[in-house]
Amino acid sequence: MAVLLHDLLMTSAGASLVLMLTDNSKVSLGESAKLSIDEHLIGPSANRGGTIMKLLSGSVHSLVSSSVGRPFNYQIRTSNSIIAVRGTDFEVDYTEGKARIGYNGCGIYTDVRVHDGTVEVQNPAHPEVKIEVTGGFATTVPCDAPPLNPGPLGLAAHAVVVGAVNALPPPACPICVMVHPH
């Protein structure tokens, strides 16, 4: 079925969804995810002018086509990050309301894993800090802090290890939600 501008795509538990864009890029939503289509412009000769999607919850995996032959603007945004892409294979997870050990009660995280290509990650609260994450690496954007320095995919999945790899102090966060393991 056709997807229109400003549509909200949602999946339930145990469900997934695959969206094919007009330039053959593929966007896959994981279970319990919400994604809005904020912009998808087509320019002259069917070249894409820009794509902006907002991940409101859950996970999205993007395989962005580089066959357009010119630079383009493809972004996944969350409440605390902007991920800009240049022909790549990457995943973004966005979570709210769950604190992680080592982050002083921060409860908002955007995790970016790059399998191939390069993405640029920033937090709109710190527009002067932009980091590039290349294939095989990952980063986390905790709350209103700048993105952490990239770490290897295998290590970056663990919040405590990411802090150790980056040697950064844990960021402060205005959302102080503590999650107690069962």
CATH code for the domain in which residue 105 is found: 2.60.120.1440
Secondary structure letter of residue 66 according to DSSP: -
Asked if pLDDT for residue 69 goes beyond 70, the answer is: no
Residue 14: Cβ-neighbour burial (10 angstroms; 0-12, 13-18, 19+): exposed
Within-domain flag for 179: no
Within-domain flag for 150: yes
pTM reported for the whole predicted model: 0.73
Express each pLDDT in 1-58 by its tens digit: 777 778 899 999 999 999 888 777 888 999 999 999 887 655 555 555 678 899 999 9
Within-domain flag for 29: yes
Distances 163 to 32, 72, 80, 155, 160 between C-alpha atoms, Å: 28, 33, 18, 10, 5
Within-domain flag for 106: yes
Distances 34 to 126, 161, 163 between C-alpha atoms, Å: 25, 28, 28
Within-domain flag for 85: yes
Q: Say how far apart CA 46 and CA 115 lie, in whole Å.
A: 27
What is the domain range of residue 30?
Answer: 8-166
Within-domain flag for 75: yes
Within-domain flag for 182: no
Q: Say how far apart CA 71 and CA 51 lie, in whole Å.
A: 12
Express each pLDDT in 97-154 by its tens digit: 988 888 888 999 999 999 998 899 999 999 999 999 999 999 999 999 999 999 999 7
Q: Tokens 């603007």 label which residue?
A: 73
Asked if pLDDT for residue 68 goes beyond 50, the answer is: no
DSSP codes joined into one string, 71-127:
---EEEEETTEEEEEEEEEEEEEEEES---TTSTT--EEEEEEEEEEEEEEE-TTST
Within-domain flag for 61: yes
Structural domain total, the chain: 1
